[in-house]
């Protein structure tokens, strides 16, 4: 049911900014049924995620597995690594050569290489949700588009936080740890802190932040973090909302937008607005909302709610 990391070499790739790469390795894993034997669900991982979605170190084990919401008895689950995330030991020194649109194009080339011309669903959270939007418009045969806690654009609020992240990532001492500690403040929110640390001393909050900074530095590389932080600031499926709405009207796919009521990074209000705008021109658009005090990270914490939503969709 679980396959080892596999690789595709994408040759002669030119980025949106005009930079040429003779070879880019695209790694992936397949779970569940063999390719070509059952409907394929493409899952796009989040910022510091990877292709190991289920199994011993699976980051979405409660959702993906035998007789779970994404049932490996029924589906083939495919997940690519964002090139440069380091899970396959590949890094991109000149990471600013790339935009998220380039990553979507690399994923599409990977699908072509695997001879996949139809997908049951594309599902992604956070930056993976933004990739889901990108692929929705470039890969035509998809039954369901499921974007969780994400957006089709980088908002000014997001840009501001990513700018601070970039400053921290360029610091001399423990840059990744510093950036991660700052990031925890918009992955969670004040209510999340209140629930977690009520009746505790302030030192425990600081210890918790230090723990997350050190923990990430043990499993993630600074080069990879700089890349994904940069990519998160390049979300631009279309230049403006008018064009986005116009092109979305032409999609045959059902669109499912999943917001989180306490999300600070991709506010639910933005997701609801996208839904209402799309619903006015397209019937098969649906909105779902996760209720949680835990902010943006709720799609990785509120497993029961996420499982129920995905089960309804599938």
Q: Annotate 237-261 with DSSP letters as a single string.
A: SSSSHHHHHHHHTT--SEEEEEEET
Q: Are 53 and 137 in contact (CB under 8 A)?
A: no
Q: How far apart are the first and last CA of the chain?
A: 20
Q: Which candidate, 73, 74, 63, 50, places its Cα nearest to that of 219?
A: 50
Bridge partners (DSSP) listed for residue 28: 6, 80
Of residues 130, 141, 168, 157, the one with CA closest to residue 44 = 130
How far is it, in rounded angstroms, from Cα 120 to Cα 101? 22
CATH class of 156-231: mainly alpha
Task: Kindly state the tokens that stand for 152.
Answer: 């089709």
pTM of the model: 0.95
Using DSSP's 3-state secondary structure scheme, residue 153 falls into strand
Q: How many CB atoms lie within 10 A of CB 208?
A: 16
- Delimit the CATH 1.10.1740.110 region(s) of the chain: 156-231
The total number of residues shown for the chain amounts to: 314
* Contact between 69 and 92 (Cβ < 8 Å): no
Is domain 6-155+234-313 classified as CATH 3.90.660.10? no
Residue 149 CA to residue 299 CA, distance in Å, equals: 8
Residue-by-residue pLDDT tens, the chain, 314 positions: 558 999 999 999 999 999 999 999 999 999 999 999 999 999 999 999 999 999 989 999 999 999 999 999 999 999 999 999 999 999 999 999 999 999 999 999 999 999 999 999 999 999 999 999 999 999 889 999 999 999 999 999 999 999 999 999 999 999 999 999 999 998 998 888 888 888 777 778 899 999 999 999 999 999 999 999 999 999 999 999 999 999 999 999 999 999 999 999 999 999 999 999 999 999 999 999 999 999 999 999 999 999 999 999 99
* DSSP-assigned states of every residue in 97-146: G--HHHHHHHHHHHHHHTT---EEEEEEETHHHHHHHHHHHH---EEEEE
State both tokens at 256. Answer: 């499912």
DSSP class of 58:
-
């Amino acid at each position: 049911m679980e396959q080892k990391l596999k690789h595709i070499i994408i040759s002669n790739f030119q980025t949106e900014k005009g930079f040429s790469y003779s070879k880019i390795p695209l790694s992936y894993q397949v779970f569940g049924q063999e390719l070509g034997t059952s409907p394929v669900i493409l899952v796009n991982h989040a910022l510091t995620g990877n292709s190991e979605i289920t199994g011993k170190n699976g980051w979405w084990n409660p959702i993906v597995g035998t007789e779970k919401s994404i049932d490996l008895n029924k589906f083939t689950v495919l997940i690519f690594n964002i090139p440069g995330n380091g899970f396959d030991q590949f890094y991109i020194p000149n990471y600013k050569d790339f935009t998220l649109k380039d990553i979507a194009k690399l994923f599409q080339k990977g699908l072509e290489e695997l001879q996949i011309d139809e997908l049951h669903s594309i599902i992604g959270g956070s930056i993976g949700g933004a990739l889901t939007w990108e692929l929705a418009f470039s890969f035509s045969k998809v039954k369901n588009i499921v974007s969780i806690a994400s957006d089709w654009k980088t908002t000014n609020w997001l840009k501001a936080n990513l700018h601070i992240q970039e400053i921290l990532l360029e610091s001399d001492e423990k840059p990744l740890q510093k950036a991660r500690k700052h990031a925890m403040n918009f992955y969670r929110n004040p209510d999340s802190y209140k629930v977690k640390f009520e009746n505790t001393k302030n030192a425990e909050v600081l210890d918790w932040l230090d723990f997350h900074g050190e923990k990430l530095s043990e499993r993630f590389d600074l080069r990879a973090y700089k890349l994904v932080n940069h990519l998160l600031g390049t979300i631009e499926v279309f230049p403006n909302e008018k064009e986005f709405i116009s092109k979305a009207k032409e999609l045959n796919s059902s669109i499912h937008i999943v917001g989180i009521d306490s999300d600070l990074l991709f506010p639910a209000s933005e997701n609801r607005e996208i839904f209402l705008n799309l619903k006015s021109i397209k019937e098969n658009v649906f909105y779902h909302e996760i209720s949680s005090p835990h902010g943006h990270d709720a799609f990785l914490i509120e497993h029961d709610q996420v499982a129920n939503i995905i089960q309804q969709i599938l």
